[in-house]
Structure 1
Amino acid sequence: MASQDAPPSAPSHSLLLLMLMGLLSVTISAFIAATTMLALSEGQISGTTAGSAVQNYADDLPTAVIAAFLWFLPMGIFIFPPTAKFLGAASGSGTLRLLKFVFLAAAMWCLLAEAIYLVLSPLAPAPPGVQRHDLISAALSGVLFAIVYDLLLRRRDYLLDRSRR
């Protein structure tokens, strides 16, 4: 009888690796989020010329990137990877792992935004509708992070599997 190769087991990632992937994911996600948010905000301003819009974009980009890093860094490096490992979301591969990452990241980013609103509401109440918009944006930024995070883990797993052959 011919022996069949056992299917490759799901990779088990160390916490340090998950945190390093978090750092790389934070870097990519922060740049994507900052440039996208600025581009969307510049497009909504009417009555500006193309030159002034480009100048405003260039002037605001460093601040937007710093703000995005401040938003993504703590969650993406120190909170998300250990939580994902503890809950088992980092195990396995494929679409199921991606879905686990997406739901976990969206929930965590949304909870962080809600906590910020709870702390800051007594100090400076937000106009109606702004909190809902910000919670949706927070959840979407978590989804962006989770997709980048999973793609980087998939790339690493692919390269390791390829080098074993």
Structure 2
Amino acid sequence: MTSELDNKANPPIYCDYFKLQLIEELALEKDYRELHYGKVAVIGRFSSETEVICLENVLIEHMPREYRLSTGTISVLLLDFHYDKVYGEPLTHRNLCILRGEVLLFNLEKPTSPKLSTRFIHETLSKLNVAQQIEFLENIHRTYKPAINVWYAKRIELASELIQRKLELRMLDSNQ
């Protein structure tokens, strides 16, 4: 565990372009040190049926069956969402959309607590001994969940196909 904590001690560099992230990559990340740090573009289904506004995952048809999640299986909380941030057609419950913003960690138990970044976690860990690091990570994981601080939203069609194309581009880019 010591080497695992030490290996992840270097703080991430802020991503200054809107990197495509899947809702699954955010909501299912077990190690918050690995969360994306910076600007993000996320495609999903808008959910506003309750007081809590979220972005739900969209089924990606071309994924292998064992990796597919039905639409709406998981979601991430949308922070600072206002309808004046929607460009083009109005956004309503269950519409498909693309959001741009920033990934943060939100305290579910104390919503007024400061929102945390991946960099904050790295910087805090660098000041702690291993036992304190483990305790800190356990506390963060228990009380905080990934969320998107929304800057821009736009209604779209064919979300699954758009995600598929973006993933193909990501694969091509990673092979270079």
Q: When the two structures are superposed, what TM-score results if normalisation uses the length of structure 1?
A: 0.23
Name the structure where helix makes up a greater proportion of residues.
1
Q: Which has the larger radius of gyration?
A: 1
TM-score when scaled to structure 2?
0.22
